[in-house]
Every structure is written in structure tokens, then in C-alpha cells.
Amino acid sequence: MKATATRNDTAATWSERGVSILNGMVGDYLQRRGNELAIAMSFRHDGRPLELSRSSLRATYPRLSPKLCILVHGFCCNESVWAFPATTFMPTPDTYGTRLQRDLDYTPFAVCYNTGLPIAESGKRLACLLRDLVAAYPMRIEEITLIGHSMGGLVIRSACDSALPETRTWLDQVKRAIYIGTPHDGADLERFAHLTTGTLRAVPSLVTRLVGDILNLRSRGTKDLRRGQPLTDGGPLPWLASARHNLLMGTLTKDPGHPVGRLFGDALVRVPAATAGLDTVIFPGVHHLALAHDADVYDCIRQICAGE
Amino acid sequence: MEKATIGKLRGLNALVADALDAGVTRTEQIHRTIAQRPYAVLKRISPVAAPVRTVEFVETTISGMVYWTIRLATRAGGGAVAHVLKQLDADAPLEKNHK
């Protein structure tokens, strides 16, 4: 019986991952068409959307804390990216959130969203979701720590920037933001895709134009990764002045100064050039996805959150 | 089967239908563009211009009907799947509420 449940859970997990990848690729199209595969932004618990009401929060978290940590996943992922690899079946996966709950008494909330939507749109939705969480939370919140992996970091910055007066209720509680493998200076892979698309469409041939058009179908969320900020807004995304910001980056090579590590970063994202005034920690030999569930990265997050 | 799963299947069905429709339309455009080139050359030669126009009309009509049939079959298939999913959705038990 348990084996069947585990097998079904695995199938459901893979199906959820497939839907998340699809959302990353063409999520804006799915949203526009009202397709039921489009993911609506929500907090997830045990793979299901969490209802934001006092009773639901009390039932889900028997021991609530005035300190919250919000985990925002990256492009083409969902909240399962935070799970440490488990050798045995665990009803609730071990994540940075559950470890922060155990070690520093944080209450963790993992966001799941459509990564194909423009980053500015996801930022606005996150700002509204956090407003609703603060309104429903059964006790006074003293501290909010925002943790974003990859695109999630950009969504966090966008949420802090886009919070309107009526959605700002949570902003004063944000004490720190931790960006893990976030392409603040843009992602090279998307720059390459942009260049390839432009070249293919410029060649006066039906076939190359067709391939270029197909490549250009990629979502607005993907295209926003080119500069590491919403393409529609002129200026760069500001950093929330009242919070402390930490960048945790990985490199493919054990030696972060190695030319390959400097050139390819963590395989998808390079260490941003302009990190002046921001605390940056580099994890040699940790690739992009592994940054979301790595023991050394967690130790660093714990130290940051503990103020050590 | 849960309503959420049926919803996803419905979404997948709609996405596949959209992709096939767009694929057929694009293939037809490319076919037309390529096919027009020899006709354009042949139509400049006076003795064969008239029969070439007839052949072009017949070929364009037949290929247009083929593409139309493919589009119709795709939509009918998508509609049939959507109907089955609608039936399943009506019979599906209400979802378990989270906590």
C-alpha cells in the first residue's frame, strides 16, 4: 500500500514538474488563453495550494512563529526544487524552509507560480499574495525573510518594488532578502537565444525564419531573463533599502577563479559584475539547480538568518 | 480521477489542439509560398500561361481542402476528447480540501 502511494506521489510530482516546465516555456500564452495548465500563484503545502485564512494556517502549522521565511523558486521549477534529495519516502520534504523552522523557529511558506509570466507581473502577484498572508496570519509578524532561487530572486525584487500603498503591509517586516543563483545581470543562455532568434529571422529563408519564429514563442518570463529585469521598464530594479541583501552564487569549477567558472558561472548564471555593497558568497562546484538544496548553502543561510 | 487532474488534461488537450492548428496553418503558408515560385515563372511563358493558371487553381484548391480537412479532423478529435473529459469531470468526486 505504501509502495503504491509512493509510486503515485512520484508520478504526480513528475506531472507537476512537467506542468511547471510548460509554464516556464509558454506560461504567458497559457494565461492569455485561459488554459487550465496555467499555474495560479499560491503558497503550497504538501503539494496543494494553501488557503490563506486563520483557521487554515493554524491547522497547517500547529506551531506558528512571528518570523516567516518565504521561498520563491526559479524558472521552469516549482516548490519541489527546494527538497533535499531523500533516500527514503518522506511525507513532508526536507527543505531550507523546514530546516529554518527546526533550527531558528521560522514558519516557512513556499510559493508556486507561473514562471512564464513577465517578471513584473509575477512581482505584483507576489506582493498581493504576501499582503493576503500578512492579513490572515494569526499573530503579529516581526520579521520576513525572502529567499529566491534564480528567477525567484528577480520576482522578489520586483515584488518589493511594485508593492502599492495598499499592498505594502508586509514590506516593513522584510529584514533580509537572500538571492540564490539569481541572474541580476541577466542570463547568458537567454541572451544567446535572443541573438539566435534575431539572426534566424533576419536570414531571408523560409526554413530559418520558421525556426526563428518557433524559438521566439518562448515566454515573456524567459525573455525578461535576458537583462535580469522586466524588459518593459526602463530603469533597473532597485534594492529594497530597508532590508539586508545577500547573494549566494555557485560555480561549476571547484576553483571560482578558474576561467571556466568565471565564464559559465553555475552553468546558467554568472556571478554578477556589480555586487558592490551586497554580501556575496560563492559556492565552488555547486551547479545552478543544486544551489536550491545544498547543505553548505543552507549553513550559510542559517548563519545569515541567525545574524552570525 | 480528481477534478484538478481532469482540468490539466483539458488544458493539455487545448494546448495540443492549438499547436496542431498553428502547425497546419504554418505548413500551409510555407507550402503556398514554395508552390507559387514555379507557377510564377511558368506563367510568364505565354504559350503555357493559361494551362498553368488552371493547374495552379486545381492544385491550390485540392491542397487547401486537404489542409481544411486536417484542421477539421484535429478540431473534431480535440472536441471529442473535451467531451469525454467533461463527462469525467461531472462524475468526478469533489476534491479533498487542504487541511
Q: Which of A131, A123, A96 is nearest to A110 (CA)?
A: A96
Nearest to B77 by CA among B29, B9, B13, B4: B13
- Distance from C-alpha of A292 to C-alpha of A82, rounded to nearest angstrom: 5
The predicted structure's pLDDT at residue A130: 95
Bin A69: left if φ > 0, else alpha if -120 < ψ < 50, else beta: beta
A32 to chain B, any CB pair closer than 8 A? The answer is no
Q: Chain B closest CA to A56's CA: distance in Å? A: 6
CA-CA distances (angstroms) from residue A178 to A71, A246, A257?
A: 10, 5, 23
pTM: 0.87
**Angstrom distance (rounded) from CA A281 to CA A180:** 10
- Measured between CB atoms, does B12 come within 8 Å of chain A? yes
Please report, in tens digits, the pLDDT of each residue of chain A (308 residues total): 444 445 455 767 788 899 999 999 999 999 999 999 999 999 999 888 999 999 999 999 989 999 999 999 999 999 999 999 876 666 678 999 999 999 999 999 999 999 999 999 999 999 999 999 999 999 999 999 999 999 999 999 999 988 667 767 899 999 999 999 999 888 989 999 999 999 999 998 888 888 898 899 999 999 999 887 665 556 677 888 889 999 999 998 888 788 888 788 888 888 776 665 678 999 999 999 999 999 999 999 999 999 86
ipTM: 0.77
In degrees and rounded to multiples of 5, residue A202 shows phi and psi of: -80, -25
Q: Does B3 touch chain A (CB under 8 A)?
A: no
Segment B56-80, tens digit of pLDDT? 999 999 999 999 999 999 999 999 9
Task: Tell me which chain B residues have a C-beta less than 8 angstroms from the C-beta of A78.
Answer: none
For residue A279, the model assigns a pLDDT of 87
pLDDT at B92 over 80: no
**Cell 479533498 maps to which residue?**
B96
Please, are residues A92 and A46 in contact by the beta-carbon 8 Å criterion?
Answer: yes
Look at residue A230 and give its three-state secondary structure. Answer: coil
Cβ-defined contact of B11 to A37 (cutoff 8 Å):
yes
- Nearest residue in B to A214, CA atom: B23
A60 touching chain B per CB within 8 A:
yes
